[in-house]
Amino acid sequence: MVNITRTGDSKFIKVRCTGCKNEQIIFGKTATKVKCLVCSKTLSTPTGGKSRIKSRILEVL
């Protein structure tokens, strides 16, 4: 798990699901759980600010 600690603007993040290897773009400050569109595994959870990413980060957009 990675916690994004950048200050300033929130970014979109390209992540890879650890279950099915699907690549998906998510927002850095989510208000709800984000699940994989293919296998429904949780990719990130809200923490009140920046999201806690539970998948592999490929690129910050």
Question: Locate tokens 């699940």: which residue?
Answer: 35
End-to-end Cα distance, the chain: 19
Q: What is the pTM of this model?
A: 0.75
pLDDT at residue 50, rounded to an integer: 86
Q: Which class for 60: exposed (0-12), middle (13-18), buried (19 or more C-beta within 10 A)?
A: exposed
Give 10-residue mean pLDDT values along the chain (61 residues).
58 93 92 94 90 92 87
Residue ranges and CATH numbers for the domains of the chain are 7-60 (2.20.25.100)
pLDDT at residue 49, rounded to an integer: 83
pLDDT at residue 48, rounded to an integer: 85
